[in-house]
Amino acid sequence: MSLAVRDDRLAELMDDPDCDPDALRATLRRFGTINRLVSGWGVVYRTRLRPRLAALGRPAHVLDIGSGGGDLVARLAAAARRDGLEVTWTGIDPDPRAHEVATARGPIAGASFRRADAATLVAEGRTYDAVLSNHVLHHLGDGLGDFVEESCALSRGIVLHSDIARSRLGYGLYAVGITPFERGTFLRTDGLRSIRRSYTRAELTAALEGSSPGAWTVQTPVPFRLVAVGRGRA
């Protein structure tokens, strides 16, 4: 195994429509804990998202594309409420299994979930004050260009796509650190495969430049993470 190049041929267990449904539900539910520990969204929210929502001076609407089990929407909605911001949150995911887990969370003030993809919302003429995603980019192959274009078409403001930064050190630390959380889930296998599928900062910069020249900057908000920052065109 080499981490020198991105291995986009690897398939994650949870992407198999016939995977163990109990393990999938457990994985999606436990993402909330793992994302809170490693995703860096606390930093991204404080430095990138919150200032733009506050500057609007009015209620905002934020879209999370590929929202999975809904943990990021729940976390950011709680943070915005604590900060006194009036925000409506929409999470979309085309996978019915993810949608089931998200809606089973129970009511989240100001938030809703929908089984849909970004292309559907573009076709409906929807627009949002900010559009974001977490752990989506590394799943995409040739669809990266269409995905980022759709996200920009849906946003009137900032676009934030957060994902893993591939590195040997990150791979090793995750392999050890995930042990207490992996029981009954796909977190170990899929997490390590996700790292192998993920981009380095240079690779993601080049990929985005190839699809949308000059439209994106790729930053490292915390170790082992990337965030692609763009501007909406809605």
Can you give the pLDDT at residue 141?
84
pLDDT, tens digit, 9 for 90 and up, residues 104-126: 998 999 999 999 999 999 999 99
Can you give the pLDDT at residue 28?
97
Angstrom distance (rounded) from CA 128 to CA 155:
5
Angstrom distance (rounded) from CA 14 to CA 211:
28
Report the top-level CATH class of 13-231: alpha beta
Angstrom distance (rounded) from CA 52 to CA 81:
15
What angle separates helix 96-103 from helix 21-38, to the nearest 10 degrees? 70
Residues of the chain falling short of pLDDT 50: none
Do 94 and 69 touch, CB atoms closer than 8 A? no
